[in-house]
Amino acid sequence: MNARTLLLTATAEPCAPVPRRQLTGSQWAAFVAALAQDSSLELRAMWADPLNVYAVFLAPEDGTVMFASVPVELGLYQALSPARPSAALYERMIHDLWGHSAADGLDVRPFLDHGNWTATPPLATRPLPNLTAPEPKEFLPVEGEGLHRIPVGPVHAGIIEPGHFRFTAQGEIIVRLEARLGYLHKGTLGLMQGKSPRVAARFAARLSGDSTVGHAIAFARAAEAAAHVLPPPRAEALRCVFAEVERIANHLGDIGAIINDAAFALMQARFVWHREQLLRATDTAFGHRLMMDAVVPGGVSVDLAPGGEERIIQVLDSLAAEWDALLATYDNSASLADRMVSTGALSADLATSFAPGGFIGRASGQAADLRRVPGYGHYRDIDVEMPVLTTGDVDARVRIRMAEVVESTRLLRHILPRLPEGALVERLDALSGEGLGWAEGFRGDIWHWVRVEGGQITAVFMADPSWRQWPLLEVAVEGNIVADFPLCNKSFNCSYSGVDL
Amino acid sequence: MAWRTMWRALRDGPATEPAPAADPLLAESLAARLHAAAQRRLGRGLAIRQVDSGSCNGCELEIHMLGNIVYDLERLGLRFVASPRHADVLLVTGPVTRNMHDALMRSWAATPDPKFVVAVGDCAIDGGVFKGSSAIIGGIDAAVPVDAFVRGCPPTPAAILEVLCTLVEANTPPPERVRRM
């Protein structure tokens, strides 16, 4: 039996909009063995609660979302990482937060737990006081002659999030990079438990500040699915507007920052100027530059202010007027191409195996985009066009981001004049249920899961795509010079806070 | 071509906006504290080291915008530096997580005296929405003494710039010192 059939034979537990397949330990082991031979299911997220380990899969061919869970027995479950290497990072996080060990896991070193917490594991039913002193981090071994190690962080030279990068280099060439994160762990999931979805949405909006809209939409959709409520059409359309504005604003900032790392300060000045104008227009239209807390379970909390649509369109017009000139500078500068082309290349094979989603995937031959397949909300009514490149280098990621700016601009011009009339928010009654929600943030696919009992959250997870993107950054920089790391890193722009939870 | 550029420049004017006004009360109180040490050592300029001690990255996005041509903080004598050893000001965001506490303390210890600490964002004030989590130790002043706070989630670039300009104002050397230079 193939992996998909194995899942369908398992017991279906109620979860909306996708039933959860509760496998027994032996069914799960057979499923993992089948997955090793079967590439049709991509691992998209993985997490746990005190009793089970959960995994979300996407079949890219037809957009089917499959949701599986397996009970943890005596603190153990069969590791998924031998069949899906991208599971390794999730397995380390599951061990740190819930204490479940992945038997035969590829990597069992701590990730989020640095030995500083007062009680561990923090999300277990009964955490135990942590009495041991923090131990030095153990890094992956590297063998060879003339190697040296460069430790960087957690506090970086620029204005970016904290994380530790351990480079091993031979001369100027990076032989291995290991990213050690967890510095930003704020205990967010624990804080959300015992709260209503409406209150907990504030935490979803603050998992990763640059994706506040993306995460808020995924969380709201999970909470709405659990309560079997649909947001009003106007709210669905406004969520699209928020999401596309967020996408454009982030891409403008990132494209500018990447190009600035190749010393093209003028282009950065222009891209970031447009970003500033867009954030101001957003403030006019929705009362907040980053649209924090604009999306709530059941709908949206703000309507389009008078004059807001005109401001946004005006900014998009001014960007469009300068776009060709900016693109021409990018295309016609040999010294820029010298830094961008073939730098930090991510192979299509690795992209297929890790399914990073977003512009990283689209620059390496992966067409996946949740807005198209399986689709959700207002995107089901509109067409989203996304180009795919295959070179997988910094240049490809910049070009995909540029194409996304153009497409999101087109979507905004389409949606804004056609906003449906009506209510902004639907009431969520204090019911019990389990829901899965997804959204395409600017980095890629975001997955949220929530279990509500009597109107209160009893278990929750928020999965940023960065879980599957960080390991690929580590590989993409191999063979590049250390000086090109900032270019590679910014072209990925993985979230630190998003995985630190 | 050159005429068109010149004409456009004349028509549109510079994109950079006037700087926000300083808060006189805060300036006065900070000036009093700094009078002895700071004025001797620092000129009319401040080097800023940003430390994220647990932020969601929202505050960093807005701090980044201070460098764009609209705010252009370098014209005001303010600049971001790569090391706390070169800094007069630590601009700290986020609640202090247990996993970042050590790194924040080390950054603070590496910053030479006299130094200012500016806590940016609601989380930096008291932990914000993360208040009560066992994974954080609290706002920035739970770890290091704070000289000024900037409210907001995240604060706007203008709000952050206002406090930084106030610091420069408080730090301005007396006129005779300027003449000697």
Tens of pLDDT, residues A114-164: 999 999 999 999 999 998 888 888 998 888 899 999 999 899 988 999 999
* DSSP 8-state code for residue A89: H
A350 and A211 fall within a common domain? yes
Q: Position A461: which residue type?
A: F
**Per-residue tokens: A180:** 């050690």
**Total number of domains in chain A:** 2
A95 and A233 fall within a common domain? no
Tell me the C-alpha distance between B80 and B32, whole Å.
25
Chain B nearest CA to A405, separation (Å): 18
A405 and A277 fall within a common domain? yes
Least confident of A30-39, A118-127, A393-402, B4-13: B4-13
A210 and A338 fall within a common domain? yes
A86 and A225 fall within a common domain? no
Q: How far is CA B53 from each of CA A94, B78, B93, B115, B139, rounded to the nearest angstrom?
A: 23, 22, 6, 18, 10
Q: Does some domain include residue A472?
A: no
Tell me whether residues A269 and B61 touch, CB distance under 8 A. no
Tell me the C-alpha distance between B30 and B116, whole Å.
10
Residue after which a domain boundary falls, among A52, A83, A112: A112
- What is the enclosing helix (H) or strand (E) of B93? strand B89-93
Instruction: Choose among B58, B103, B135: nearest Cβ to A212.
Output: B58
Chain B nearest CA to A37, separation (Å): 39
Tell me the C-alpha distance between B120 and B66, whole Å.
13
Percent pLDDT > 70 in chain A is 100
A101 and A194 fall within a common domain? no
Go through chain B and tell me how many residues it has.
181
DSSP reduced 3-state for A7: helix
Tell me whether residues A290 and B63 touch, CB distance under 8 A. no
**Per-residue tokens: A305:** 């202010």
* Residue A41's pLDDT band (cuts 50, 70, 90): very high
Instruction: Choose among B67, B68, B100: nearest Cβ to A184.
Output: B100
Tell me whether residues A184 and B54 touch, CB distance under 8 A. yes
- A75 is in which domain, residue-wise? 3-112
Q: Is B111 on the interface with A (CB under 8 A)?
A: no
Q: Is A214 on the interface with B (CB under 8 A)?
A: no
Chain A nearest CA to B181, separation (Å): 31
Q: Does some domain include residue A8?
A: yes
A107 and A194 fall within a common domain? no
Question: Residues 6 or more apart from A82 whose CB is under 8 A from it?
Answer: A32, A36, A104, A105, A106
Tell me whether residues B57 and A210 touch, CB distance under 8 A. yes
Checking if the pLDDT of B38 tops 70, the result is no
| Contact criterion met (CB below 8 Å) for A69 and A52 | yes
The 10 Å CB-count burial string (b at 16+, else e) for A278-313 is bbebbbbbbbbbbbbbbbbbbbbbbbbeeebbebbb
Percent pLDDT > 90 in chain A is 92
Q: Is B55 on the interface with A (CB under 8 A)?
A: yes
| Contact criterion met (CB below 8 Å) for A32 and A106 | no
pLDDT tens, residue by residue, B162-173: 999 888 887 765
Quick one: pLDDT at residue B41?
56
Q: Does some domain include residue A90?
A: yes
Q: Which residues of B touch A186 (CB under 8 A)?
A: 54, 95, 97, 130, 133, 135-136
Q: Does some domain include residue A124?
A: no
* Residue B174's pLDDT band (cuts 50, 70, 90): low
Tell me the C-alpha distance between B34 and B38, whole Å.
5
Region at A117 (left for phi over 0; alpha for psi -120 to 50; beta for the rest): beta
Q: Is A129 on the interface with B (CB under 8 A)?
A: no
Residue after which a domain boundary falls, among A61, A77, A112: A112
Q: Which residues of B touch A158 (CB under 8 A)?
A: 80, 82
Q: Which residues of A touch B129 (CB under 8 A)?
A: 191, 202-203, 206
Instruction: Choose among B50, B68, B134: nearest Cβ to A159.
Output: B50
- CATH code, domain with A14: 3.30.460.80
Quick one: pLDDT at residue B178?
47
- CATH code, domain with A328: 1.10.645.10
Chain B nearest CA to A80, separation (Å): 28
Q: Does some domain include residue A398?
A: yes
Quick one: pLDDT at residue B181?
43
pLDDT tens, residue by residue, A219-231: 999 999 999 999 9
Which of A137, A184, A254 to mutate: most B Cβ within 10 Å?
A184
| Contact criterion met (CB below 8 Å) for A439 and A214 | yes
Q: Does some domain include residue A122?
A: no
Residue after which a domain boundary falls, among A112, A139, A160: A112
Q: Does some domain include residue A74?
A: yes
Instruction: Choose among B57, B70, B154: nearest Cβ to A273.
Output: B70
Q: Does some domain include residue A261?
A: yes
Which of B8, B48, B56 to mutate: most A Cβ within 10 Å?
B56
A285 and A197 fall within a common domain? yes
Q: Is B93 on the interface with A (CB under 8 A)?
A: no
Question: Residues 6 or more apart from B66 whose CB is under 8 A from it?
Answer: B73, B78, B157, B160, B161, B164
Tell me the C-alpha distance between A173 and A227, whole Å.
53
